[in-house]
């Protein structure tokens, strides 16, 4: 369903569903362009709500809150994929510009729908997902082919950062694994020989203009993103071409407007498979705040408002380091900050903290972008930063 293309100009009110760090960066980008921002998030300590022009503290399906937001805003976007589809549809029915629309979000919310979409011929230019089997009810456990083991069992909905995932070594372990995730709909994916993971970040405007960001190579620790390296050091020109072609096909077939991230696995034999689609800006794209002409968040604002898209040119190589709550000292009752002065003593380090009040193990509290002349030259700075923060 196409919405109007006319640009929505500042100082219009833009809405963002979700008030975490992605919503905070959206708010900052929108305000830099002269817009006002209304955040809908039930958390009274929402990082985005703390800096927005208006913070509605309510659930994403609360009728009075949605009505209030629709009366304030001229356009609405989202910072996470689990916003109810009917909430997005409500704003469309009220005549607001909405991106992304519920069709694309609904696919990304459900691994079963996502895999069906990605494995449809031509949707991803010949690149498919890992081999998988859908589990909807107990009887499906007996129909799984043995070639899918060892595999990874993933909940169909609400899984992220390694949550909702269980390794399954043998077919005899499948029933216990399914019980461990609550007997909910899931997919069993064959565990593949991974060489590296790539994030492809793309933005599509209301006028069908498409811009690709440089591909990022990701490294994970404990199922959570640790580093993103740009340009991706392991990628070949041919693999880059195939991933970019697939990314363009996916964003077109989703009829998607806004910023979209697609994760790909490159296997040890050179084969490429799609992992998942995130209908929003992405953690692995945070480097764009410091290393690109236009950040992913400014692009989100531009696409939502129907403005021309900005350049995605990489100004210099960069590595993004995630900062989790694990590095905050816990020996006292007070929140003690890590040694940020040591981090900033390295002049090419750019520190971003998300304004979260309480550090927790595994919680994303901020990131550091390290800039340099090459990803190789940056790695020494990365190691020094990791050492200074006690992340070794």
Q: pLDDT class for 357, splitting at 50, 70, 90?
A: confident
- Distance, C-alpha 139 to centroid of its chain: 34
Would you give the end-to-end CA distance of the chain in angstroms?
Answer: 49
CB 198 within 8 A of CB 232: yes
User: What values do phi and psi take at 340, rounded to 5?
Assistant: -65, -25
pLDDT digits (tens, 9 = 90+) for 367-386: 999 999 988 889 999 999 99
Percent of the chain exceeding pLDDT 70 equals 97
pLDDT digits (tens, 9 = 90+) for 43-99: 999 999 999 999 999 999 999 999 999 999 999 999 998 899 999 999 999 999 999
Question: Distance between CA 277 and CA 260 in Å, rounded?
Answer: 7
Query: Hey, do 13-98 and 131-190 end up sharing a CATH topology, with the first three levels equal?
Result: no
Is the pLDDT confidence value at 161 over 60?
no
How is residue 316 annotated by DSSP?
S
Return the SS3 of 378: helix
Question: Distance between CA 356 and CA 185 in Å, rounded?
Answer: 33
- Place domain 131-190 in its CATH homologous superfamily: ATP-grasp fold, A domain (3.30.1490.20)
Choices 3.40.50.300, 3.40.50.20, 3.30.70.260, 3.40.190.10: CATH for 13-98:
3.40.50.20
221 bridge partner residues: 224
Domain ranges within the chain, ordered by starting residue: 13-98, 131-190, 194-388
Q: Which CATH architecture has domain 194-388?
A: 2-Layer Sandwich (3.30)
pTM of the predicted model as reported, rounded to 2 decimal places = 0.94
In the structure encoding, which two tokens stand for residue 84, read together? 């109810």
Is the pLDDT confidence value at 125 over 90?
no
């Amino acid at each position: 369903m196409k919405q109007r293309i006319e640009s929505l100009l500042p100082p219009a009110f833009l809405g963002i569903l979700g008030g975490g760090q992605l919503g905070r960066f959206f708010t900052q980008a929108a305000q830099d362009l002269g817009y006002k921002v209304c955040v809908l998030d039930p958390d009274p300590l929402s990082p985005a709500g703390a800096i927005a022009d208006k913070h509605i503290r309510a659930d994403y399906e609360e009728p009075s809150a949605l009505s209030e937001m629709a009366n304030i805003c001229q356009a609405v976007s989202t910072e996470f994929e689990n916003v109810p589809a009917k909430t997005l549809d409500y704003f469309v029915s009220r005549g607001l510009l909405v991106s992304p629309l519920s069709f694309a979000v609904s696919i990304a919310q459900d691994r079963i729908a996502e895999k069906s979409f990605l494995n449809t011929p031509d949707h991803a230019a010949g690149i498919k997902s890992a081999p998988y089997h859908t589990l909807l009810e107990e009887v499906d456990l007996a129909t799984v082919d043995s070639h899918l083991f060892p595999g990874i069992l993933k909940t169909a909905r609400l899984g992220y950062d390694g949550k909702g995932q269980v390794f399954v070594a043998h077919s005899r372990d499948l029933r216990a694994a399914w019980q461990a995730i609550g007997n909910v709909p899931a997919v069993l994916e064959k565990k593949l020989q991974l060489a590296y993971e790539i994030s492809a970040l793309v933005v599509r405007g209301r006028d069908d203009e498409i811009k690709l960001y440089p591909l990022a190579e990701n490294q994970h620790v404990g199922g959570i993103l640790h580093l993103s390296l740009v340009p991706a050091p392991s990628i070949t020109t041919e693999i880059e071409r195939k991933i970019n072609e697939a990314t363009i096909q996916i964003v077109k077939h989703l009829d998607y407007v806004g910023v979209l991230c697609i994760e790909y696995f490159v296997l040890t034999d050179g084969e490429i498979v799609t992992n998942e689609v995130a209908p929003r800006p992405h953690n692995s794209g945070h480097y764009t705040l410091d290393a690109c002409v236009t950040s992913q968040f400014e692009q989100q604002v531009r696409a939502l408002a129907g403005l021309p898209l900005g350049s995605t040119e990489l100004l210099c190589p960069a590595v993004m380091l995630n900062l989790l709550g694990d590095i905050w000292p816990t020996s006292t009752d007070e929140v003690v900050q890590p040694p940020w002065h040591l981090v900033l003593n390295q002049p090419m380090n750019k520190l971003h903290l998300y304004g979260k009040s309480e550090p927790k193990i595994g919680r994303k509290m901020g990131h550091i972008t390290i800039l340099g002349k090459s990803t190789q030259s940056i790695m020494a700075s990365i190691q020094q930063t990791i050492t200074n923060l006690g992340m070794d």
